[in-house]
Amino acid sequence: MQETFMTLYVRMQSLTDALVKDQSGQDLIEYALVVALIALAATAGMGAVASSISTAFNHVASHLSTYTT
């Protein structure tokens, strides 16, 4: 019985060591942070781009209305 518990303990200890040393999720977190940073920069830049596009469309619309009336 004691040998079974010792074997179980050794297996659990090796599993714990493997989980502590496992860094495979680290890459996924780094990619997620990069994607979040890109999304934040894109969102911040959209305000300026949207107002420029709106101004351009309004300019085109005013010229079209001038020529069609």
- Domain extent listing, the chain: 25-69
| Cα–Cα separations (whole angstroms), residue 64 to 54, 55, 67, 68, 69 | 15, 14, 5, 6, 9
Reported as a pLDDT band with limits 50, 70 and 90, residue 24 is: low
Reported as a pLDDT band with limits 50, 70 and 90, residue 18 is: confident
The pLDDT of residue 62 is above 90: yes
The pLDDT of residue 56 is above 90: yes
The pLDDT of residue 2 is above 80: no
The stretch 34-43 carries a mean pLDDT of 93
Cα–Cα nearest to 20, from 30, 12, 28, 10: 12
The structure's pTM equals 0.44
The stretch 8-14 carries a mean pLDDT of 83
